[in-house]
Amino acid sequence: MNYTTDHKSYVTLLIFKLLKFVVSLITKKNKMKKTFYVLVFSSLILSFSFVSCGPGKKLLSSRAKVEDLQRDSLNTHRQLTECNVLVKNLNADKTSLLNDKASLQNDNLSAVNDLKVLSTQSKMTIAEQARRLKNLQDIIQSQKDVMSKLKNSIADALMNYKTDELSIYIKDGSVYVSLQEKLLFKSGSDVVDPKGKEALKSLAQVLNNTKDISVLIEGHTDNVPIKTKLFQDNWDLSTARATSIVRILTKDNGFDSNRITASGKSEFHPVKANDTIEGRAGNRRTEVILSPDLKELNKLLDQ
């Protein structure tokens, strides 16, 4: 804009000088010459007008093109910057993918090596595993035989007692001798009746001749609350009854105290519903649980 303004001022000044010169000529010369000079002057005016207008329009056109080029350059530069950022991000993603690929290849190689090792070890121990399995089966079968023989021996020793007084059965690999309250105790008492003592004596004779078994005595009651001078609740009663039987088996009949345990279960492990007289009577029981010694089995499993 400054260049255009200066150019126009210069042209205006030049026209003014030419006009002054022509006027002076017109004053001095005759009329014919005056006409000639007027024509010359008009031509000069037109020429300078074209000269003054022509360069200004071209300059504005050129400036507009320059501005367009500058805008195109800025857009191109911005797009180039965005492309550079995109290329940088793509390179980072490519590097990350290559690292992940390398990590997966390492993991796969490690898994293949582990599989080869396990396969080799498995091939080396197939025969050993077969022998181990056979030993386990032999031990389990031997224990089943022992417990079955023990059950039969106890059933023979207690054959004179009625089914509503005691029952004998195998459960979870152990022999259960369930003694009803009517055989052992009076209601609310932990003192064993003479008939109950005779039954426990017969049981102790079988147990003393059986090695590698452990004995658990569990006392059970019904859900009727009890509170006496001796027993605060059914927990006390069930535990006291179990302890009384332990004493008879160990102190009176010589069973090994290291192989026996007393436990009170109170009312919380019923075998029948407590809503009938018969059901509550069935729950008032003391169970003698005979379990095989698992040392050999555990030893073999730990190998």
Dump pLDDT digits (tens) for 114-145. Answer: 666 666 655 556 777 777 777 777 778 878 88
Same domain, residue pair 185 and 76:
no
Domain end position, chosen among 20, 52, 84: 84
Predicted confidence at residue 302, as pLDDT, reads 59
CB of 288 within 8 A of CB of 177? yes
**CA-wise closest residue to 183 among 202, 169, 205, 170:** 202
Same domain, 283 and 171: yes
* Concatenated DSSP letters of 55-76: HHHHHHHHHHHHHHHHHHHHHH
Smallest CA-to-CA distance from 205 within 262, 249, 146 is with: 249
Among 48-52, 152-156, 212-216, 243-247, the minimum mean pLDDT is found in: 48-52
Identify whether 148 is part of a domain: no
Residues 6 or more apart whose Cβ sits within 8 Å of residue 4:
56, 59, 60
| Domain-located, residue 168 | yes
* Domain annotation covers residue 173: yes
**Total number of domains constituting the chain:** 2
How does pLDDT run across 251-269, given as a tens digit for each residue?
Answer: 999 999 999 999 999 999 9
Question: Does residue 153 sit within a domain?
Answer: no
Residue 104: inside a domain: no
**Are 59 and 182 in a shared domain?**
no
77 inside domain: yes
- For residue 75, give its domain range: 2-84
pLDDT of 19 strictly over 90: no
Whether the predicted pLDDT of 12 surpasses 90:
no
* 286, containing H or E segment: strand 285-292
Last residue of a domain, one of 50, 84, 118: 84
Residue 162 lies in a domain: yes
What is the C-alpha separation between 271 and 241, in angstroms, rounded?
18
pLDDT digits (tens, 9 = 90+) for 34-77: 555 555 555 555 554 544 444 566 667 777 777 778 887 788 87
3-state secondary structure of 124: helix
Q: Based on the fold, state whether residues 66 and 174 are members of the same structural domain.
A: no
> Is residue 12 assigned to a domain?
yes
Q: Where are the beta strands (DSSP E) in 213-253?
A: 213-219
Average pLDDT for 154-176: 92
Q: Where a domain ends, among 57, 84, 111?
A: 84
Instruction: List CB contacts of 169: < 8 A, sequence separation 6 or more.
Output: 151, 175, 176, 178
Q: How many C-beta atoms lie closer than 10 Å to residue 267's C-beta?
A: 21
Instruction: State both tokens at 216.
Output: 């658990």
Residue 195 shares a structural domain with residue 284: yes
